[in-house]
Amino acid sequence: MFWVRLKRVIRSGWINFRRNTMVSYAAILVTTITLIVVTTLFLFQAVLNAAILNIQTKVDIAVYFTPTAPEDQILSLEATLQALPEVASVQYISADQQVLAFRDRHNNDYLTLQALDELGNNPFGGLLQINAKDPTQYDAIAQTLEGDNTIARSNSQIIERINYSQNKQVIDQLNNLIFNARRIGLIMTLVLSLVSIIIMHTTLRLTIYMAREEIGIMRLVGASGAYVRAPFLVQGVLYGAFAWLLTNLLFLPLTYIAGLKMTDLLGINLYSYYTSHFFSVSGLVLLIGLVLGVISSLLAVRRYLNV
């Protein structure tokens, strides 16, 4: 008996969906636009994460040591920093490596190289390049090196300078970019979801009005309130499902083209990302579409279908 009723409910919802073709198209279109924006935000987040990962590899804290700093003390500080939970990696560049790198950078500048040779000794000290696990953790690492603590005090005599102040602006901009992108994405999703709910709610209200005679007959023959409401819930689910299908049909070719022509620009192959995360991204988009349809249906039947 349950399966018979379920079959009737689904069939009735499908009939309502097909009967009001233009109204259904309008609801699907608006829901599709919402899901397109949601999917775009997911892909934008992937591009942003790839860009952030690339920037993170270029942003660091560089600790420059005096030319007379003992190498064993520098290596000891390197081991101490590497043990910090905020630190992802520490690279030691010796004074000899520094002067070789300087010569490579100025191999066409004869006067600079001549001046270096006339010094008679290596003017460079050692260097530690520190990368954090997260951009927000650079402040904590800098405090370890510059603050009032045992590590800073014991190494203050050999540290010539720390370039964190020059990189701090880049790091702060990176953190602000992450925060603002997520906030804007969330606001856009909420606004468009609200618009979709309002339009689908209006659409279902019109459908209920057009089916008022059938609803009256169902009441007379003793149909329960849940049985009368169910087809309209099915109709809302169909809006979300068709919108999800159209969204996928749009993004599969678009990401494929982007993967062929824009990988170098974006720093990520969107098609590979979309297909490899299809079940997680598309599944979540489908869930959002169905939820929007169900919420719209529930609001419509609750307000305009007093059974």
Together in a domain, 150 and 246? no
For residues 50-78, average pLDDT: 81
- Cα–Cα distance, 241 to 289 (Å, whole number): 7
Examine the fold and report which residue of 130, 157, 184 is the final residue of a domain before the chain moves on: 157
* Alpha-carbon span 240 to 237, nearest angstrom: 5
pLDDT at 194 over 60: yes
Tell me, yes or no, whether 262 lies in a domain. yes
Amino acid at 198: I
pLDDT, mean over the chain:
78
Residues 152 and 180 in one domain: no
Q: Give the per-residue pLDDT at 307.
A: 47
Among 157, 188, 204, residue at a domain's last position: 157
What average pLDDT score do residues 231-246 get?
A: 83
19, 74: one domain: no
What is the span of the domain harbouring residue 78? 67-157
More confident residue, 159 or 219: 159
**pLDDT score, position 278:** 85
Task: State mean pLDDT over 181-197.
Answer: 75
CA distance linking residue 230 with residue 5, whole number of Å: 10
255 in the same domain as 121: no
Which residue pairs from 144-150 have beta carbons closer than 8 angstroms and sit at least 24 positions apart in sequence? 144/81, 144/84, 145/61, 145/63
pLDDT in the model for residue 222: 62
pLDDT of residue 281: 83
| Domain shared by 187 and 277, yes or no | yes
What is the number of structural domains in the chain?
Answer: 2
CA distance 269 to 264: 8
Q: Residue 298: inside a domain, yes or no?
A: yes
Distinct helix (H) and strand (E) counts, the chain: 13, 4
Phi/psi of residue 63, each to 5°?
A: -105, 115
Instruction: Answer yes or no: is pLDDT of 108 > 50.
Output: yes
Tell me if 41 is assigned to some domain. yes
User: Quick count: other Cβ atoms within 10 Å of Cβ 24?
Assistant: 20
- Whole-number Å distance between alpha carbons of 189 and 227: 33
One domain for residues 42 and 191: yes
Of residues 81 and 147, which shows the higher confidence score?
81
d(CA 268, CA 126): 36
Within 8 A by CB and 6+ apart from 82, the residues are 89, 90
Pick the range with the lowest mean pLDDT from 136-140, 168-172, 285-289: 168-172
Residue 191 sits in the same domain as residue 274: yes
What percent of the chain has a predicted confidence (pLDDT) above 70?
A: 77
Q: CATH no. for residue 114? A: 3.30.70
Q: Which of 74-88, 99-113, 221-235 has the highest mean pLDDT?
A: 74-88
48 vs 210, residue with greater confidence: 48
- Residues 184, 291, single domain; the answer is yes
- State residue 297's pLDDT score: 73
Q: How confident is residue 135, by pLDDT bands cut at 50, 70 and 90? A: confident
Which is it for strands 127-132 and 87-93: parallel, antiparallel or unpaired?
antiparallel
Please indicate, yes or no, if residue 162 is contained in any of the structural domains: no
pLDDT at 244 over 70: yes
Answer yes or no: is 109 within a domain: yes
Q: Kindly state whether residue 145 falls inside one of the protein's structural domains.
A: yes
In a shared domain, residues 79 and 213? no
Instruction: Give the Cα separation of 154 and 272 in Å (integer).
Output: 50
Q: Which of 218, 156, 187 has its CA nearest to residue 16?
A: 218
**Whole-number pLDDT of residue 16:** 66
Q: Is residue 59 part of a domain?
A: no
**Of the segments 14-28, 62-76, 116-130, 261-275, which one has the largest average pLDDT value?**
62-76
- In this predicted structure, the answer to whether residue 209 has a pLDDT above a threshold of 70 is no
The reply to whether 184 and 50 lie within a common domain is yes
For 249, counting Cβ atoms within 10 Å of its Cβ (0-12 exposed, 13-18 middle, 19+ buried), the class is: exposed
**Same domain (yes/no): 282, 209:** yes
